[in-house]
Structures are given as structure tokens and as C-alpha cells.
Structure 1
């Protein structure tokens, strides 16, 4: 059986050992914890599968580089506003993860916090839908920007909580295939819904506003996923947690978290470079509008390509990651990401643009899976929430600045300059990953973990 302890730093004075009154040693409680994980694996696997399939399907409709950027451009007429909206969303995601981590890392059970944080994220999508129906003009633009900021804020805390929940109940050797199947089946649904939303919701102006109808549907799907996780998952109490620490005191631990693991330090830099490369994402669909007519059908078709890539590639990424570790997935994703961006810059017909969007979707899904899974394999279990939060914050810093800078560049220098800059950052991250970051799973096995 796998070792679930993951090198818990029990010698650290900040770690609390939950001995209760059973008189059992820490080693005995670790064995019980591992047995609990395996005994409840089937039910927890189903819970996380349904949560990912339904919840992430809805989030894909919001986060795809098609519907929301196109809607912002439609109501504002400005590339800068598109960049500003994505920047505000990322700012929200930047400032909240560390606070979220400090609220859960001392808790033996974190599912109640997950319901609150996840629920509040879904409320923001509903707000976008309602704003589309009941507001107009400048008020609508401001409202959408505000909801995007709040959406990012709660998504930042949600990422920490749900990553920790998966790490608590899904063993390392099962995480890749879980993400593969939930992303693949969710991708089928999302790709189909993207085409339906473009063809029938937007072109048909469903309920008076096709974009608002799309956001409402996304709210329903994500809420169903959260309910499935809440009612099905059985959460164990870990043998150890960190002692509760004031927020600003916990910030002082950041240098230790970064410096104690050289591999994690360089991985963090790779994350920051890669996320900066994502600065071009909201402008893919706007660039395409300069070469083909941006009808609802074409938006749906390209959304189908981007989200459909999730369906096929996630099966490859998940099983490959389980078998070899996720470093090779991250390398492959960055290579495909660069190639697809170059292709998009040099083609001018719908079929070739479809291929480029498919590559971009496959690359970014591979990046997300590998980055979110590799982070769980560095360092100790008790530091995991803060390590996830630190990576989320670092990504958020770059992700918030990227779209804003990209919007300015697109408005003043053209989309090609944005894409070229994106490629440069992705290439830098790829080189650093190849030469400075080892596979953390192999290091753990070598250390006897």
C-alpha cells in the first residue's frame, strides 16, 4: 500500500499530533489513516469524479478563451477592457489563496469550508448572468468586471481547499487517471455545450441574452458538482495538522517553504513563467476575428476545438502522469502550447484555426493537470495547503499582470506582439523545467517516501 503520510514533518514544533485519547502512537495512527483512504477510495473517487465532471464543465464554459472575452468585447468594444477583466479575475485569485490556506491548514476536516468557498465562486457566475439580463451600457461593463474579480477571489481559495481534499483521499497513483476521466467526460459535455451555446444560445439570443443564458447554465452545472462532492465524500481526519498560526506570522514561513526544496523553488518559477505566457489566451479569439467572421457558430466551433481537446488529451495526460510522473506531461504541454501559438499566427482559414485551438486546449489542460498534481508531491503533508496557496499566489501575480499588459500591447502594438511575448515566456519556462526541475515522484521514491 502507498504511504499517505508523504513525509509529514512531525518534528516541526508547529505540527499538532492528534493523539486524542486512544493511546495509539503516531505510526499506528498513520497506518489507520492509510487504511481509511483505501477503504473509502471507491466512494471518494466517485465523489471527486462527479465534482470534477460537472463542476469543471461549467467552469470551462466561463474560463474558455471564447465566451467571456467575446462578451466583454461585445459590451465594451475595447481590447483593453478584455485584458482588464482577465487581470481583475487573476488579481482575485492572487490575493485569496494564502488567506484560504491559513483558514484550513489547522482543521482536521475542511469540507465545510470547501462548500462555502465553492458556493461563493458559483454565485459570481450567476451574477454575470443576471447582470447580462438586467443591466446595460457602462453599468453592465463595470458589473461584469466586478463579478470577474470576485469570481477569481473565491476560485483562489477554492483551488487550495479542493486540491487538499483530493490529496487527503486519493492516493498518488490514482490522481492522474481520476483527473483524466473526470476531465475527459467533462470535456465531452463542455465541448458539446460550447457548440450548443454558440449556435443556439448566442445566435438564437436565448432568453433575450445568449451569453447570460450560457453563464446561468454554467452556474447550474457547477452547483451540481459541488453538491455531489458534499453528499458523497467521506473525509478522514489526518494524524497531524499544523497549529493555527496568525496570517502575518505564517507569511514568514515562505522563505523556508521555498528554500528547503530546490526542486519546488524552480518549479515555482516555471509556473510563473508559464502563467505569464498565458497572457495571450483572451486574445486568441479576438485575433481570429481579424481573419474570419466571428459568428456565433464560429465561436461555438472554436470553443468545441479548445474544450474538445480536453476530452482526448486528458486521458493521455492522466495515465502518462500516473505511470511516469507529471514532469513529462508538463514538458509536453509547453511544447504543444508554443507550437499551437505559432500555428495560430500563421493560418487564415477555419480548419487550420480549429487545429490551433485544439492544440491550445490540449496544452493548457495538460499544464493545469501537471501543475496541480506535481505541487502535491513536493515537501511535507502538513505544509501542503500553504504550498498550494504559495503556488497559486505566485501564478496569480503573473496571471493578473499578463492580460492587462497583453491588452495594452494588443491595443498599441497588435496581437502578434502579444503572441510573440507569450512564446518567449513559455520557452523560458520549458528550458528551466528541462534543466533544473527533477521529477518529484522519483525523488520521493529514492528517499523511501
Structure 2
């Protein structure tokens, strides 16, 4: 007898093992090049995007156009709504592909188009139209960002081994934080305060577009291996129906997603940090630059610590420490009424949010097998982006009807709930021995 089905299964297993070995050999062979390309892309891309996503320039710009806390919340909500709507679509676009880089580049240019539109509308449109188009372009930015974040996290998981991801993320964000802090100071003092090119905010966003565009070009240097295994191509609606099964099969994953969503809802206070500072001490271009610099520099230093800690101990510890620092800084913010104490608090906020972002992005990669990785990333991004869409809108309503203190108190409560849930109900996923 020739063994029949048993022999066929053995040959299939050997073929899969050989494909895995070849895949990992190619990853190691191109590691230096891919590490450098990811670092350059992250450095320039994050430097530019932080000028858009930091809780300073965009909220201050929208408030300048509208004079309304609710409008600030609505604008930020439109960005994160776009992100939430597109993350699962991003997973279904790439999880059946052996290579994802070309799709990532295409989506990346669309995302940068939203930043360019934000800048150009500021230059050429009157305030009421600039406000409307700012919301539209922030939503466009979010839509492409939702897809891009899934693709680029998947790409990094393919070309950067687990043992190096934390340090790469930390050092990339460290370098980006240094340059972003310098650009933020220039943006506040020399662009906004000096009304550069007729609109300092638009000039800052134009600088962000230029930096992110150069960063995306650097990613073209990546040598991406073919994935040894991919999912069969599935319709978008069918994959949506499978999401509850993925969460039911891994209770710790579902609890981690819930905790991340709670912490993300804590961002309801983020657009109002700088508005609170403005009411406390006034909001000149110099003050805006100082607070932005403190926020971004703290992200810089903290990212090195968070990345090293994640590689040595795990991302769960980083999640707990960073969410705790973020909550504590929010509490302290409510008592600050002068510049330098506010600068220190913004540094704490930056460190906490950096650790939260790094830990969630890397921890989700460790919960299961590669073939479901894109969908796990999409589930997490959808959960967090949905809360980040609801949060600023809710925060704007509360700020308009009550006070900033009420907004900050609710944010602290959400962050505390996330901390407790992970502390008591989510273990360190890399200790489970799953394949990454």
C-alpha cells in the first residue's frame, strides 16, 4: 500500500514547512534593508501626520474657523468615522494577497490627498467653506488611514520579526517625535503666529503633506516576501459575518478589543486639551508651539522606553503603564493655570498616548495565526476608531453644555476602566505560544 491520504497529508505538511522556512530565510536576508526602509518611512510619515493628529493644530484651526467646541468635536469625529468605516474593508482588500505593498502605496497617496486638501482649502476658501471642506478632507484622511493602517501593520508583521518590532516602533517614533517637535515649534511660532503664506495653519498642513509624501516614497525600497499562506478571497459581507466567530473563539482577544475601545473613548477629551489651555493662559502661536513641542517630545522619549519594555516584557505591561500615565495626566490637567505646568502635563499626555498606540498596534499582532492577522488588525482599528469618532462629538456636546472638567472626568473614567479590564482579564498573548 502506498499510504494514500496519510502520505498526501505528510507531503502537504512538508511542503508547508519548506515554504515557511523559505519565507523566514527571505525575511532575514532582507532584514537590514526592510528595517531601514520602515524606519525612514515612519520617521518622515509620522513627522508629518503628527502635525495633523496632535491635539493642537487641527483643534485650534477648527475653533478659529468656527468659534464652537461642538464644531471641533464634529471635525475630529469625521476623521475617525472615516477610519472606522474603512478598516474592515482594508482587511478584505489584502488578506488574500501574497503581497500587499503595492496596494499600500496606492492607499497611502489617497490618505495624503486628504492632508493636501486640508491645506489648500485653508488657502483658497472663506472661513465657512473652509470649515465644511476641513470636515470633508479630515473624513477622507480617515477613510484612507483606516485601510492604510491595516495594510502597513500587516506589511511590518511580514518583514520585521517579532523580536524587533517593539524597538523598531519605539525608535521610529522616537526619531519622528524629535523632528515633529521641531516642525511643530516652527509651525506654531513661524507659520501660525507669522501667518506664513497668508494662512499659518494651512502652511503647517502643507508641510505635513510634503513630509509624509517623502516618507511614503521611502517605503518603495521594501523587499516584501510572498506570504506562504493566505486566506481564500472572500466577499466583504461574508467576512463581516465571521467577525463574531473570531471574537468568540478567543475571549482574551475580545476583552482586549473592548479595553482598547474604552481607552479610545477616553480620547473624547483630546481635542479640548489645547482649548482648555487657551482659556487658562491664552493661545498665541508661541504657546501653541510650546504645548505641541512638549507633547511630541514626550512621545519621542517615551517611545524608546515603551519599545524596549515591549520587547523585553511584553506589550501588556506597556498598555497598563501608558494608560495609567494618560489618566493621571488628565486628572492633573484640571488644576493647571500657567504655561510651564501645562507644558509638563502635555508631556505626560504625549507619553501616555504614545504607549497606548504602540502597545495596541503590536499586541494585536500576537493573538493568533498569520492568516487571520489582517482581520484582527481591522477589528481592533474599527473598535478604536469608532470610539474616537463618537468621543470628540460627545466631548464637544459636553463641553458646550457643561464644562471641560466634565469632559476630562469622563475621559479619566474610561481610561481607568480599560486599565482594570486588561489588568484582571487579559494575559500577555506572547506567552500563549501561538504562531506569529
- Relative to the length of structure 2, the TM-score reads 0.96
Equivalent residue for 1:394, pick from 376, 380, 383: 383
Change (3 A) 1:448 1:393: closer
User: What secondary structure sits across from 1:97 in the alignment?
Assistant: helix
Equivalent residue for 2:245, pick from 237, 256, 260: 256
Map of 1:315 onto structure 2: 304
Equivalent residue for 2:42, pick from 39, 52, 70: 52
Q: Which whole-Å CA distance do the structure 2 matches of 1:34 and 1:303 have between them?
A: 41
Q: Which whole-Å CA distance do the structure 1 matches of 2:435 and 2:378 have between them?
A: 26
Map of 2:115 onto structure 1: 125
**Structure whose residues are more often helix by fraction:** 2
Map of 1:145 onto structure 2: 135
For the 8 Å contact 1:114–1:158, the answer to whether it is kept is: yes
User: What secondary structure sits across from 1:42 in the alignment?
Assistant: helix
For the 8 Å contact 1:26–1:239, the answer to whether it is kept is: yes
| Cα deviation 1:272-314 (Å, max 9, x = unaligned) | 1000011100000001111101100000000000001111000
Map of 1:304 onto structure 2: 293
Equivalent residue for 1:377, pick from 366, 376, 382: 366
RMSD: 1.2
Q: Which whole-Å CA distance do the structure 2 matches of 1:61 and 1:160 have between them?
A: 21
Instruction: Report how far residue 448 of structure 1 moved.
Output: 7.8
- Note if 1:288 corresponds to 2:277: yes
For the 8 Å contact 1:261–1:379, the answer to whether it is kept is: no
| Cα deviation 1:177-200 (Å, max 9, x = unaligned) | 101111111100000110111000
- Note if 1:73 corresponds to 2:63: yes
Equivalent residue for 1:61, pick from 47, 51, 74: 51
Equivalent residue for 1:355, pick from 344, 348, 352: 344
| Cα deviation 1:36-94 (Å, max 9, x = unaligned) | 11111100000100010000110001000000000000011110000000111111000
Map of 2:314 onto structure 1: 325
Map of 1:272 onto structure 2: 261
Map of 1:27 onto structure 2: 17
Q: Which whole-Å CA distance do the structure 2 matches of 1:30 and 1:137 have between them?
A: 56
Equivalent residue for 1:176, pick from 162, 166, 177: 166
| Cα deviation 1:148-201 (Å, max 9, x = unaligned) | 111111000010000000000000110011011111111000001101110000
Q: Which whole-Å CA distance do the structure 1 matches of 2:14 and 2:246 have between them?
A: 30
Map of 1:189 onto structure 2: 179
Structure 2 unpaired stretches of 5+: 1-11
Map of 2:150 onto structure 1: 160
| Cα deviation 1:180-236 (Å, max 9, x = unaligned) | 111111100000110111000011111111101100000011011110011x10000
Q: Which whole-Å CA distance do the structure 2 matches of 1:343 and 1:52 have between them?
A: 31
- Note if 1:210 corresponds to 2:200: yes
Q: Which whole-Å CA distance do the structure 2 matches of 1:388 and 1:405 have between them?
A: 26
Instruction: Report how far residue 24 of structure 1 moved.
Output: 6.8
Map of 1:14 onto structure 2: none
Q: Which whole-Å CA distance do the structure 2 matches of 1:421 and 1:258 have between them?
A: 27
Q: Which whole-Å CA distance do the structure 2 matches of 1:298 and 1:120 have between them?
A: 32
Structure 1 unpaired stretches of 5+: 1-18
- Relative to the length of structure 1, the TM-score reads 0.93
Q: Which whole-Å CA distance do the structure 2 matches of 1:106 and 1:281 have between them?
A: 36
For the 8 Å contact 2:78–2:389, the answer to whether it is kept is: yes
For the 8 Å contact 2:87–2:379, the answer to whether it is kept is: yes
Equivalent residue for 1:236, pick from 225, 228, 252: 225
User: What secondary structure sits across from 2:230 in the alignment?
Assistant: strand
Matches within 5 A, 1:385-424: 385-424=374-413
Map of 2:424 onto structure 1: 435
For the 8 Å contact 2:86–2:143, the answer to whether it is kept is: yes
Instruction: Report how far residue 137 of structure 1 moved.
Output: 2.5
For the 8 Å contact 2:87–2:150, the answer to whether it is kept is: yes
